[in-house]
């Protein structure tokens, strides 16, 4: 009979949405229990500083979001509450961390490799052969026994 009273408290049209909400709350509860089962210091020691910052920001954002939802259930407009500014502050820090991780992931230019790539990409074997022929013709036209003229010294 208690189950019948619970279904009479709300319209049947939102029954599916409430079931989904209940399963979401259960999954959040399960995740929080896993997170809380391990001592925080042990968890932080296993992470590098950037991951520690991500964990701290995620925790703060999650708690503030849950408080936002609590305010909504109590009939308080969270947009007029201080929680909105706190969520915005956390979001700015999350964006900063994202920028840092994007900079780490960004491709770095290897100038030597780029120069080799361009040189090989622009390589034309016919042009190289014509240069060799021109150089050999110049060498053939210049007599080997005659010394080449030197520039006069300037005094």
Domain spans, the chain: 28-105
Query: Exposed, middle or buried: residue 87 (CB in 10 Å: 0-12, 13-18, 19+)?
Result: middle
The predicted model scores a pTM of 0.56
Q: Is the pLDDT of residue 114 over 60?
A: yes
Give per-residue pLDDT as tens, 57-76: 998 998 999 899 899 989 99
Closest by Cα among 21, 44, 43 to 34 = 43
Average of per-residue pLDDT values in the chain: 80
Please, how many CA atoms are within 13 Å of residue 149, restricted to the half-sphere of its CB?
2
User: What is the share, in percent, of the chain residues with pLDDT greater than 90?
Assistant: 25
State how far the Cα of 12 lies from the Cα of 51, in Å rounded to an integer.
44
Work out the pLDDT band at 14, boundaries 50, 70, 90. confident
C-beta separation of 60 from 90 below 8 A:
yes
Report the alpha-carbon distance of residue 84 to residue 9 in Å, rounded. 31
| pLDDT tens per residue across span 95-111 | 999 999 988 887 777 78
* CA–CA separation, 116 and 118 (whole Å): 5
SS3 116: helix
The CA-atom distances, in angstroms, between 148 and each of 77, 92, 155 are 95, 73, 21
pLDDT at 61: 93
């Amino acid at each position: 009979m208690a189950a019948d009273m619970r279904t009479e408290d709300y319209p049947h049209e939102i029954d599916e949405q409430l079931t989904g909400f209940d399963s979401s709350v259960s999954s959040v509860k399960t995740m929080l229990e896993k997170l809380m089962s391990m001592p925080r210091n042990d968890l932080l020691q296993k992470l590098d500083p950037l991951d520690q910052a991500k964990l701290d920001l995620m925790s703060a954002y999650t708690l503030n979001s849950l408080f936002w939802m609590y305010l909504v259930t109590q009939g308080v407009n969270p947009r007029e509450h201080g929680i909105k500014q706190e969520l915005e502050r956390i979001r700015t820090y999350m964006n900063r961390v994202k920028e840092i991780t994007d900079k780490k992931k960004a491709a770095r230019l290897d100038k030597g490799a780029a120069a080799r790539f361009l040189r090989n990409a622009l390589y034309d074997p016919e042009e190289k052969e014509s240069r060799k022929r021109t150089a050999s013709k110049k060498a053939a036209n210049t007599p080997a026994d005659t010394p080449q003229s030197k520039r006069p010294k300037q005094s």
